[in-house]
Amino acid sequence: MSKEVLINRVFGETRVAVLDNNLLEQIVIERDVQQSLVGNIYKAKVIRVIPGMQVAFLDIDDKRSAILHIDNLHLAKKDTGIESLLSSGQNLLVQVVKDPVKDKGAVLTTDLSIPSHSLVYRQSRKKLAISRKIKDASERDRLADLFASAVSLAVAPEGFSGHFILRSVAEGLSEEQLLFDMQLLHRLWNDISEKRLEKSPVLVHTAPPIYQRLIEDSINLEPLRITVDCPEIHQALNQLSQHYASNIAVELIEDYQRKDLFDRNHIEPQINQALEQKVDLDCGGTLVIEETEALSVIDVNSASYLGDTDDQKAYLKVNLEAADTAVKQICLRNLSGIIIIDFIDMADSASERQVLKRLKQAFARDQTQPTILDFTALGLVQIARKRTGLSLSQTICAPSNKTRTKGVKKSDDTLVFEILRQLSRKAVSSSSKAIEIHSSPAVIEQLQKKYSAQIKQYEAIAECSVKLYSQPITHCDEFNIIST
């Protein structure tokens, strides 16, 4: 079994790691105090309309005004100005498609989309659609007939004006399972209809938890093992897998030993490596990855590669491996927006075509389906990748994200959770009578104000006292835990 998902939950932080042959392929981190808004639906209020930019700013009860562009107004007709459709004080249902980043607010759409395991309700659709990934014509016909039968049994709620998309995982689905998903989406719409009567701005629908979204989006017919160290998450996923057991091979393993799931599977070092600028290639070449606010740049270097006396063969070999590794790093780090890869210059266009083909093959499994442009005259490849949330460094590192010789500066939130995880491990194995935590003033203040209950819980389990010491530290992203 090559695919495995590890789900670690400790004190308000959920981490989901996707492994392929024991190597980290994707890492998603969600904190209760910093949850993604993507997929959430709000009854929002229009604050102001900017005709010159064809955008409106809306209040969704976030500190930053959310942005709705004319292109995301699904009922807007061609050449219709946004000022003729929206006005200040107006209320409307919107969905977040991009999280807020720094000073920029969330990006919204009025084309509501609510997924279940096998279906997606899409407000703008006029008729049923079946995923193009389902190639078999007889299976497509079977699903269409199945859907028609399910529609005759399920009664759509009032205001349910759109239609459904059958996802690729619907292949092989039974009528019972399809009907279950359809009725689930009907119930969700009823809940939205009730909550939209409340005063705006108000959250009317919350997207499923990160672990459920990731698994529903990535799961297919290949076997998948899920290891969970949280009873509540285990129960939720167990129910999900039982309902779809006929076409999803999932093995759920409860792991309540509290020995840190990620440590035992060597995930922590791989996460730290994904924060480094330099990535070594097996051939001796290197990638240097620079993430900025505007774009990300990947520089390919031959470095110590000595495999061929022919320079052009050597450059092609390094570039081909660099293409594979660059895609892995882009997905692992969740880089998005404009990404530029500066490959080693090659003399002929045939070599460039080989590298471009390898790059597209490597991206084939990426669900964001990025746009990849041909080599420029300067030997650069430009990629546009849809933003689906914060990048790994934006999640883990401090906003300044200044690179040092030994890595990057982790944020105070990240350090707090690292400390809490270490305490969780010590609760199982330590026989200490007292624990001292030494860290920067900002980290100690967070532990005292936000996580005092968790520390008291640890003290009760481990039967030892915890003392917090605020002190200047050479590097702000350091801490020491001392057993006495």
| Predicted pLDDT at 363 | 94
Element (H, E) at 394: helix 392-396
Range of the domain at 64: 41-111
Could you tell me if 269 and 293 lie in one domain? no
CATH number at residue 436: 3.40.1260.20
Which of 19-23, 170-174, 385-389, 431-435 is predicted most confidently? Answer: 19-23
Could you tell me if 31 and 46 lie in one domain? no
- Report whether pLDDT(217) > 70: no
Give mean pLDDT, residues 379-398: 88
Q: Are 347 and 377 in contact (CB under 8 A)?
A: no
Q: How confident is the model at residue 451 (pLDDT cuts 50, 70, 90)?
A: confident
Q: Are 466 and 435 in contact (CB under 8 A)?
A: yes
Q: How confident is the model at residue 110 (pLDDT cuts 50, 70, 90)?
A: very high
Give mean pLDDT, residues 77-86: 89
Q: Are 86 and 49 in contact (CB under 8 A)?
A: yes
Q: Mark which of 82, 111, 140 sits at the end of a domain.
A: 111
| Predicted pLDDT at 404 | 44
Give mean pLDDT, residues 415-439: 81
- Report whether pLDDT(406) > 50: no
| Predicted pLDDT at 403 | 44
Q: Which residue has the higher pLDDT, 96 or 303?
A: 96
In single-letter form, the type of residue at position 71 comes to D
- Report whether pLDDT(337) > 50: yes
| Predicted pLDDT at 216 | 66
Give mean pLDDT, residues 134-153: 89
Instruction: Please classify residue 404 by burial: count the beta carbons closer than 10 Å to its beta carbon, then call 0-12 exposed, 13-18 middle and 19+ buried.
Output: exposed
| Predicted pLDDT at 246 | 47
Q: Mark which of 85, 111, 137 sits at the end of a domain.
A: 111
The count of domains in the chain is: 4
Q: How confident is the model at residue 243 (pLDDT cuts 50, 70, 90)?
A: low
Could you tell me if 243 and 311 lie in one domain? no
CATH number at residue 106: 2.40.50.140
> What's the whole-number average pLDDT of the chain?
85
- Report whether pLDDT(245) > 70: no
Q: Quote the pTM value.
A: 0.79
Q: Mark which of 343, 367, 385 sits at the end of a domain.
A: 385
Which region among 147-156, 243-252, 257-266, 470-479 has the lowest average model confidence (pLDDT)? 243-252
Residue linked to tokens 């659609």:
129
Q: Is residue 325 part of a domain?
A: yes
- Report whether pLDDT(445) > 70: yes
Angle at 446 between CA 10 and CA 475, to 5 degrees: 95
